Amino acid sequence: YDRTWYGRVMVERLEGFCTEKEWRRAYHEINEFERMLTEWGAVVLKFWIHIDQDTQLARFKDRENTPEKQWKITDEDWRNREKWPEYEIAVNDLLQKTSTKNAPWYIIESNDKNYARIKTLRIIVKALEKACEKHFQRMMEGSAPLR
């Protein structure tokens, strides 16, 4: 979540790059921003791709031991792994405070990559179908401009 609007409540919070007041205020700012996006007509879907610690460790070791994957792992990854408990608290706060009716979070169990991909794609397809149906109905009623 580095370099996204969630950076403040995750990375900046845990690294001490902002004050508690700033990262707490960010939850409201995030919800307002996403509300504006959905009012404009955007479909906002948020996926938390969750793996357990053992799976993460196995993937990290695989990356270290596979020459063509070594570029995927850095010292920063290992350093952040040591902060698992702190990240867990921040993630729980993030999910609870920024999952809204119009911009929900979907937690994707991802120890099995294929399962995670299929589940994520199904959610995306269903949400886009719903949005298209809604927009089509509004167009038929003459109340929705084409975007």
Per mean pLDDT, which range of 40-44, 65-69, 136-140 is the poorest? 136-140
Q: Does residue 147 surpass a pLDDT of 60? A: no
Beta bridge partners of 63: none
- Residues 69-101 have pLDDT tens digits of 999 999 999 999 999 999 999 999 999 999 999
Query: Crossing angle for the helix pair 20-40 and 84-98, nearest 10 degrees?
Result: 40
At 65, is the pLDDT very low, low, confident or very high (cuts 50, 70, 90)? Answer: very high
At 61, is the pLDDT very low, low, confident or very high (cuts 50, 70, 90)? Answer: very high
Which pLDDT score is estimated for 62?
A: 98
Q: Does residue 2 surpass a pLDDT of 90? A: no
Which range has the top average pLDDT, 5-9, 40-44, 56-60, 132-136?
Answer: 56-60
User: Which of 46, 50, 47, 74 is CA-nearest to residue 60?
Assistant: 74
Q: Within 10 A of 122 (CB to CB), how many other CB atoms are there?
A: 10
> What does the DSSP 8-state code read for residue 49?
E
Q: Does residue 135 surpass a pLDDT of 90? A: no
User: How far lies 90's CA from each of 3, 85, 94, 102, 103, in Å?
Assistant: 16, 9, 6, 22, 19
Fold of 8-141: Rossmann fold (3.40.50)
- Report the distance separating Cα 84 and Cα 86, nearest Å: 6
Please state the domain extents for the chain: 8-141
What is this structure's pTM?
0.86
Q: Does residue 34 surpass a pLDDT of 80? A: yes
